Amino acid sequence: MKKIISAFILTLFLLSSPLLISVTSHAETEKVGAASYTMQDIRNLQDFLLDKPTEEDLSEKPYDLNGDNIWNVFDLCLMKQEYAGQNAENTSNILVAYFSATGNTENIANHITNITGADIFEIEAAIPYTAEDLDYTNSSCRANQEQSDAAFRPEIAGSVDNMEAYDVVFLGYPIWWGEEPRIIDTFLESYAFSDKTLIPFCTSGNSGIAASERNIANLGVPIGNQLAGRRFSGTTSEQSVAEWIDTLALTEEEVKTKMQIAVNGHTLTATLADNTSAQALAELLTTEPLTLELHDYANFEKVGTLPQTLPRNDEPIDADYGDIILYQGNQFVLYYDTNSWTFTRLGRVENITKEELQEILGDGNVTVTLSLVD
């Protein structure tokens, strides 16, 4: 098992950064002993050292942790250690497990470790991948052969000795031919996840994470709670990763709002997203069910107009079948195939295959009735 102490990594990283200094007050120094730091404090000091504008007034902040009347990278290192210590009860049970063929996924895994103070484990193939193995232009290369066989399970070198100690597992991987590498399936089938929260993350130039998330959910491995993952580029900054992690419910039980969709004699169950758009839709359904006429568009979605405009939380999304999307604030969209665009996620239909959903929705226009699950 490969474990890395995050504080050690942070020290090496920060000591390699330029030293930027600002004089602070003695009154501020006196506050240090009683200070309790948040992720926002870390961002504030980091932005200050990089000479970036900050939204908060930092003049009274207790950021001189080593008492030398200056703010520098040593204070930032100490602050991150303090933050990890303050949250040790919440973070000591977190594991970041990742497979990285070229180093991109490893970069994101290290960011997550730095932010959360988690332990880290590199998923390595018993027979390491060579450059020739990853030559996708060669149809007979190892990676292509493995990906073409959904039942293939590459052997892993080493193991997580104390997997039972972790409640939260971040699982990282590159996207190979639109899916997770088969070695990720090997890892998932090697341990019990029924009492754990699993959070996928991937690196890719343009392919989305949705197909791999669906594969993981349908692998047959019981998972206590699989949270929505995120795709990153290999060069994504630590701050961007931290902003994503801030949106995750790692230490509190997540209360999910469920919605039923009655269509063509069937009842589908969907989990609503955690944003103001989905909350507004749920509020709209609290008084009575809502019936919509959806028309078919472009052979990948059914779309209809809502009775009122909802708040928008638009972002680039690789929509997959079962995704429920808000378009332009007032268009309810149910996907039965894939599409990439900038719009708002409202939720996702659960426990259904692409073929089943397409058969239920049928061709042409369709009437759906939305209601909340009690």
DSSP 122-157: E-EESSPPPTTTT-TTSTTSHHHHHHT-TT--PPEE
Q: Which of 244, 234, 210, 227 is nearest to 339 (CA)?
A: 210
Mean pLDDT of 74-87: 72
Lowest mean pLDDT among 79-83, 93-97, 109-113: 79-83
Mean pLDDT of 342-348: 93
- pLDDT attached to residue 86: 59
Dihedral class, residue 362 (left if φ above 0, else alpha if ψ from -120 to 50, else beta): left
For 248, other C-beta atoms within 10 Å of its C-beta total 17
For 107, other C-beta atoms within 10 Å of its C-beta total 20
Lowest mean pLDDT among 10-24, 165-179, 292-306: 10-24
Tell me which of 358 and 78 has the higher pLDDT: 358
- pLDDT attached to residue 22: 39
Q: Encoding tokens for residue 283?
A: 């509020």
- Burial string for 133-152 (b: 16+ CB within 10 Å, else e) reads bbeeeeeebbbbebbeeeee
Mean pLDDT of 141-161: 93
Residue 124 burial (CB < 10 Å; 0-12/13-18/19+)? middle
Question: What confidence tier does 132 reach under pLDDT thresholds 50, 70, 90?
Answer: very high
Between the alpha carbon of residue 71 and those of residues 6, 81, 242, 306, 369, the distances in Å are 22, 16, 22, 52, 58
Q: Which residue has the tokens 């997550």?
A: 112
Report the percentage of the chain scoring pLDDT > 90: 56
DSSP code at position 101: S
pLDDT tens digits, residue range 185-195? Answer: 999 999 999 98
In whole angstroms, give the CA distance from residue 294 to residue 263. Answer: 11
Average pLDDT of the chain, as a whole number: 85
- pLDDT attached to residue 10: 42
Inform me whether the pLDDT recorded for 20 exceeds 70: no
In whole angstroms, give the CA distance from residue 132 to residue 128. Answer: 11
Q: Provide the whole-model pTM.
A: 0.52
Question: Which helix (DSSP H) or strand (DSSP E) does residue 84 occupy?
Answer: helix 73-86
- pLDDT attached to residue 255: 57
- pLDDT attached to residue 46: 79
pLDDT tens digits, residue range 296-336? Answer: 999 999 999 999 999 999 988 888 899 999 999 999 999 99
- pLDDT attached to residue 345: 93
Inform me whether the pLDDT recorded for 31 exceeds 50: no
- pLDDT attached to residue 364: 93
Instruction: Residue count of the chain, please give it.
Output: 374
Report the percentage of the chain scoring pLDDT > 70: 86
Tell me which of 104 and 350 has the higher pLDDT: 104
- pLDDT attached to residue 87: 53
Lowest mean pLDDT among 70-84, 268-282, 293-307: 70-84
Question: What confidence tier does 92 reach under pLDDT thresholds 50, 70, 90?
Answer: low
Q: Which of 137, 141, 85, 97 is nearest to 2 (CA)?
A: 97
Inform me whether the pLDDT recorded for 90 exceeds 50: no
pLDDT tens digits, residue range 215-267? Answer: 999 999 999 989 989 999 888 999 889 989 988 866 544 557 899 999 999 99
Backbone angles phi, psi at 32, to 5 degrees: -55, -45
- pLDDT attached to residue 14: 42
With H, G, I as helix, E, B as strand and everything else as coil, classify residue 20: coil
Q: Where are the beta strands (DSSP E) in 141-287?
A: 156-157, 168-174, 193-203, 223-226, 230-232, 258-263, 266-272
Residue 226 burial (CB < 10 Å; 0-12/13-18/19+)? middle
Work out the angle at residue 359's Cα, subtended by the Cα atoms of residues 292 and 230, and round it to the nearest 5 degrees: 75
CA dihedral sign, ordered 352, 353, 359, 364: positive
Q: Where are the beta strands (DSSP E) in 72-118?
A: 94-98
